[in-house]
């Protein structure tokens, strides 16, 4: 009966069965809580676990590797994870149905780092 076994699940396959990312990232990112550093570290670790952390980086302009047929689907999953772990106010500030994960990631980073100087004052 060799050959009847399905291939082992890849990390991203397991990611689609997650009921709630909020169990892993319990404190939503919020402008009022000043929790960007802890949230971003937890979120990156979560993405590393499921081998999708590369979606947070700006894609290389040229690539010689074979394109991933599931790239768009996985990218959308990462975006949905971000939306589900940030405050509704932040979702309203960054939501866009065509935005890639790295763009949402950069928008969030910019929101918190741009506010850092004014908070110090």
Ordered mean pLDDT values, 10 residues apiece, the chain (121 residues): 62 70 88 93 93 90 71 91 95 92 95 65 43
All residues at 6 or more sequence positions from 86 whose CB lies less than 8 Å from its CB, including other chains = 28, 29, 30, 39, 94, 108
- Output the pTM of the full model: 0.79
Q: Residue 51: left (phi > 0), alpha (psi -120 to 50), or beta?
A: left
Q: What pLDDT is stored for residue 19 in this prediction?
A: 64
Q: What pLDDT is stored for residue 93 in this prediction?
A: 93
């Amino acid at each position: 009966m060799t050959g009847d076994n399905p291939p082992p699940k890849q990390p991203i396959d397991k990611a689609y069965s997650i009921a709630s990312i909020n169990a892993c990232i319990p404190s939503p990112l919020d402008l009022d809580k000043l929790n960007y550093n802890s949230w971003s570290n937890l979120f990156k670790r979560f993405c590393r676990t499921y081998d999708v952390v590369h979606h947070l980086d700006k894609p290389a302009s040229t690539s010689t590797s074979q394109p991933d047929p599931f790239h768009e689907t996985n990218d959308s999953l990462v975006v949905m994870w971000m939306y589900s772990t940030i405050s509704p106010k932040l979702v309203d500030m960054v939501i866009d149905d065509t935005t890639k994960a790295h763009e949402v990631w950069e928008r969030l980073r910019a929101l918190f780092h741009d506010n850092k100087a004014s908070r110090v004052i």
